Amino acid sequence: MSLFDQRLSEVHNRLHHKDLSVSELVDASLKRIAETDGKIGAFLTLDEEGARKAASELDSSSGERGLLFGLPAGIKDNIVTEGLRTTCASRFLSNYDPIYDATVVEKLRSAQAVTVGKLNMDEFAMGGSNENSSYHPVRNPWDTTRVPGGSSGGSAASVAAGQVYFSLGSDTGGSIRQPAAYCGVVGLKPTYGLVSRFGLVAFASSLDQIGPITKNVEDAAFVLQAIAGHDGRDSTSANVDIPDYASALTGDVKGLRIAVPKEYFGEGIDPQVKERVLEALKTYESMGAVWEEVSLPHTEYAVATYYLLSSSEASSNLARFDGVRYGVRAEDPANLLDLYRRSRSEGFGPEVKRRIMLGTYALSSGYYDAYYKKAQQVRTLIKRDFDQVFEKYDVIVSPTAPTTAFRLGEQVDDPLTMYLNDICTIPASLAGVPAISIPCGLADGLPVGLQIMGKPFDEATVLRAAHAFEGRTEFHKLRPAL
């Protein structure tokens, strides 16, 4: 068994009894990356020297140990790290070395995790396949001819391949959950505002949320415990009590009320994916949970609503990348406007340009009310759908993605089809509710993800439901034959 297949509690027990050192954990991580990353491409920047130094310091330290003591972690490359290059997988930020840490990185350091490097992604988190990286695509460890999902493809692939113990990703419309489903790992999008966004390079500020990708639910609970909490530097951070998430993992779901929205099982859902999810519901039945079909009637408008809102916010957020303050700068511009135009033309990739143009159009005079304002109104209706269902039910269950991982290049020239891959994950993002993806079986040898959505700030119930299913099945133990 790989060191990284062991649960966090098991690794900590070995560290406590000194039959394992942090340096050995970090060496195992770096060795695995060297062996496999040529096939996968999960990392953009490795910090071998910094990781080994941190491991040595932890090995020689005494006193109380942090929640994530000694665990090697990868960080998505849109989360800033002091002195460690942060590119957002974009040519525009190819020379950007931040002078501060994101709040979540500070919290990981406080919990004594070890950062080994920065993970590949779709440029500025815009994409669903990790083929939009300006450097190289990430490949799925289960089948290297297929995508790992996006935009946190590097975060999911690195955990699935056993390169790191856990990783952090960001989720705007499904960018943690969809790649977790494609790569057969656990991906959690917390409630909007539970985890600080300070230091996360903004894509769509009303949707972006940082969360963990792990091999099992218990570890996701521990990582969430470490990174959750109010942050005065983030104006959208929620000042709520943080419960002990690990104590919620009782394995008991007797009487749990599960809603199954019929809109998530319609056209476009692969029959095998649907079958795996229905089998999962039977497993919940056998544990004493009850489920009923419900309707979230405004789901059909979610994809259009999301891409209008997220692109509009991206248009505004990415205006700061102008070649003046940081990032790439066009050489010998004729004037200021030429500097803006050429720096942005040379620095941004095609998908980023597409979304900036869509967002600028939606926000422009004469179209604002017809598109952006209307999308905000529909978002309210989508959230209202969730609120009404949660009056009667504890969680909502659905497929995470409509299909298993598709082949590299298969959809890259068809943006509309690519956008529809997030049809199951986008509604929870628009509503701001927590959602987790866990493995629930295979279809033609590829992982299928089960999505569990919960009430705002009720991550405890979401984790309890996910952990109970995991305890009755072996799907989370399946590993790619990389």
Catalytic amino acids?
76, 151, 175
Question: For residue 432, what are its two tokens?
Answer: 């701001």
Give residues with Cβ within 8 angstroms of 262, minimum separation 6: 293, 294, 295
How far apart, in whole angstroms, are the C-alpha atoms of residue 279 and residue 287? 13
By the 8 A CB rule, do 213 and 180 touch? yes
Q: Return the number of other C-beta atoms located less than 10 Å from residue 34's C-beta.
A: 12
Question: For residue 62, what are its two tokens?
Answer: 């005494």
Side-chain-side CA neighbours of residue 73 (13 Å): 33
User: DSSP string covering 376-443, please?
Assistant: HHHHHHHHHHHHHHHTT-SEEEEESSSSSPPBTTSSTT-HHHHHGGGTTTHHHHHHT--EEEEEEEEE
Give the closest residue to 55 by CA, choosing from 144, 137, 142, 115: 115
Side-chain-side CA neighbours of residue 12 (13 Å): 14
By the 8 A CB rule, do 94 and 87 touch? yes
Check residue 300 and report its DSSP letter.
G
